[in-house]
Structure formats: C-alpha cells, structure tokens
Amino acid sequence: MAMAMASGFCSSLKAGEKRFSPSRTCNISGGSRSVVRVLTNKGRKLSLIAVNIPKATSPTTVEEGSPNNTDSVPTPKVIIDLDSDPDSTIVEVTFGDRLGALLDTMRSLKNLGLNVVKANVHLDSSGKHNRFSITKASTGRKVDEPELLEAIRLTIINNLLEYHPESSSKLAMGVAFGVEPPKQQLDVDIATHVNIYDDGPRRSLLVVETTDRPGLLVDLVKIITDINITVQSGEFDTEGLLAKAKFHVSYRDEAIRKPLQLVLANSLRYYLKRPTTEEASF
C-alpha cells in the first residue's frame, strides 16, 4: 500500500496569534507543556493532530552513581515498521529494562483514534522490546499516513519524556522538551547520510540518516513525493539523537534509475542540511 501524503502548514506562534508559517510542524508553548501540531490540507478539509510534549520547569538533580546517572541511561529507540505486517503498523519501543507495561502509551495511542490489536515483549541483551500492532479504529486498517505516523512517534516520545525524564538526556527532543538536554550535539552536515540501493526491478531502497527533530517523517515523505516518487512502505527509527529511515520507493512502478536517484539524494541532502531561515505570513 502506498503511503498517503498531503501538503501542510501550521501555526508557529503562541496561542492567540493568527499568523502562520509554511513549516509543517510547530511548537505552541503553554505553561509547562508544549504542543506539537501537524496540520494537513486535504482537499477542502483541514485536519489537525496535536501531541502534548512535557516541558520541564526545572532540571532534576542526578546524583553520581544513582540509577538515573546519564552515563548508565540506555539509548531510547522507537521503531515504526510498515513492512512486517500487511494488516497493521508495527511499533517497537526499547529503553533498556526501564519500561513497564506501557499502559499509558497504549491509552495515548487510543486517544489518536488507533487500536492496539496485539502487544508483546521480548528480551535480549539490549533490554525489553515492547511491540505493538496498531490499526486505525475507524477502518481497522494499518496506519500509512505520514502525519499520523509522526503523531504516533511524538506520542511515544512524549511518554518517554514524561514517565522516564532521564531519557531526555539521550533524545534529540530533550533539547526543547526534556528535563536534562543531551550533552552531545550532532552536526547535521556530518550526521546526514543518504543512500539508494536497487531492491528488485520494481522498487528501490532509500536509506536516510540525520539528526532528529519534530516533523521529520512528514517532511521526508513530502520531499520524496514532490519529485513524483512513490513511497510504497518503509521503516522509521528514532534512535537517541538520530533518526533513521528506510523507504521502499518507485517511479512509475519501476525501480528508480541512476539520474533520478541523484536528484532524489541531492534534494534530501539539501533540505536536511540547510538551516530554516524563512518564515512567511498568510
């Protein structure tokens, strides 16, 4: 199933102000919390997904040798997988052995209009891997809209920051929303890598690695589809400060040829590396 896509823009200012920015995500501060909104324009209807992100009012003291010492904090991982199951979207959350039953996460996903049809946990050397099979409550089908997938990702990161504040020292989102921001800062020019591989006669595999930020999944899909390339399916991983995406893509139901591969790779590198300096009012 091809991933759905729509253009979007969102309010970029504080509550009460009515100017808009063309970027597809925004933060609206309110007390000790911020709201990340993904606003999409589908035909004549305007749809809005809002995700509450906790924002610390004061840093938490971390004593040396305590369980919350950032040196011993595992790297949080959130994986959204559209490939493994044809009927549902697979979401996997790993944070060492610190995660419980994640009932709060399942409740938050239901608030997005989703059903958790199956959940299980498996253990390995990296800790507990909590896997959820998710469908849309309205249709019973898997989630493939990038705006909703991004809302799922931000909802899970929201819960990590709220119930495990020590995770903010390991997540890129911790800079804006966490109790303790990451000590390490990644240079986007160095961290960004784009590679395209042949994956059979009818599709190619696009692999993107870059610094994480809100709205990244939506932006990646928009860049790809803006040059008439179809996103068939894929996997999006949030791993600490990095975001790693694997997309199965095609052009007119065929694998992407070398000239178009170059256009796609250059477009992604340019967008991901350039600073955001433009703001327009409408």
Containing structural domain, residue 148: 10-55+75-177
What DSSP line would sit under 29-73, residue for residue? EETTEEEEEEEEEETTEEEEEEEEEE--SSPPP--TTSTT-GGGP
Last residue of a domain, one of 177, 211, 235: 177
The single residue listed with the structure tokens 């909703």 is: 148
Classify residue 254 by its DSSP letter.
B
Last residue of a domain, one of 157, 177, 197: 177
Quick one: pLDDT at residue 140?
A: 96
Q: How far apart are CA 10 and CA 1, in angstroms?
A: 27
Last residue of a domain, one of 177, 206, 239: 177
In a domain, 99, yes or no: yes
Containing H/E element for 10?
Answer: strand 10-11
φ/ψ of 164, rounded to 5, equals -130, 75
Same domain, 136 and 193: no
pTM of the model: 0.78
Q: Taking a C-beta distance cutoff of 8 angstroms, is the pair 91, 135 a contact?
A: no
Instruction: Show the beta-strand stretches assigned E in 125-263.
Output: 127-136, 193-198, 204-211, 230-239, 242-250
In a domain, 278, yes or no: no
Same domain, 248 and 111: no
Q: What is the pLDDT along the chain (282 residues), one digit of tens a residue?
A: 566 543 332 333 333 333 323 334 444 333 344 454 544 444 434 445 555 554 544 344 443 334 445 558 999 999 999 999 999 999 999 999 898 878 899 999 999 999 999 999 988 887 889 999 999 999 999 999 999 999 999 999 989 998 999 999 999 988 877 788 898 888 998 999 999 999 999 999 999 999 999 999 999 999 999 999 999 999 999 999 999 999 999 999 999 999 999 999 999 999 998 655 444 433
Structure tokens that stand for 244 in this block: 């790693």
Structure tokens that stand for 94 in this block: 């790993």
Quick one: pLDDT at residue 7?
A: 34
For residue 231, give the CATH number of its domain.
Answer: 3.30.70.260
Same domain, 143 and 34: yes
In a domain, 26, yes or no: yes
Same domain, 41 and 169: yes
